[in-house]
Amino acid sequence: MVKNYTIKEKKIEILFNNEGKNLINKSSGSLVYAFFKGKFVMSWHPMRRGWEIPAGRRKNDETAEDCAKREVFEETGAITNKLVPLGVYTVNKNKNKKIIAVYTADIEKFETKPDWSETGIVKLFDELPDKLSYNDLIYENILHHIATEGLD
């Protein structure tokens, strides 16, 4: 899948193809649709007052995959396995380009998330809820891709 669109002066491109997979190592962060018993996990972010898919920035010597696993655990307490890279999405705004790796994962089990986690409630969904933190259609487009193309 290749999709390009603009929302609120942000140019967004989703690349779930070979080009996108080749850009994963250049990403500055990761986003993960992590599944447990057929549903995906999201967490409530109290400061942004919305539901979010686990995601975050890579640390200095961290791979995109390690970032993905860490962010899922920090934000939801989930231990993942079978991470599958889909590709990347990019956001261009004011000549700044951000590349984010996108994965799916299976959740093996849930543990207690860290006390310092920035997120609140953790919940499983079979469709996107109302009150998302971000209204840029990225979550919707990725979920549509997963629903139509499958997890692998």
CATH of the domain at 87: 3.90.79.10
Per-residue pLDDT of 52-63, as tens digits, reads: 999 999 999 999
Beta carbons of 137 and 55 less than 8 angstroms apart: no
What is the number of structural domains in the chain? 1
Domain that holds residue 105: 2-149
Res 152 pLDDT > 70? no
Position 93 scores a pLDDT of 84
Distance of CA 134 to the CA centre of its chain: 12
Query: How many Å apart are CA 112 and CA 144, to the nearest integer?
Result: 30
Output the pTM of the full model.
0.93
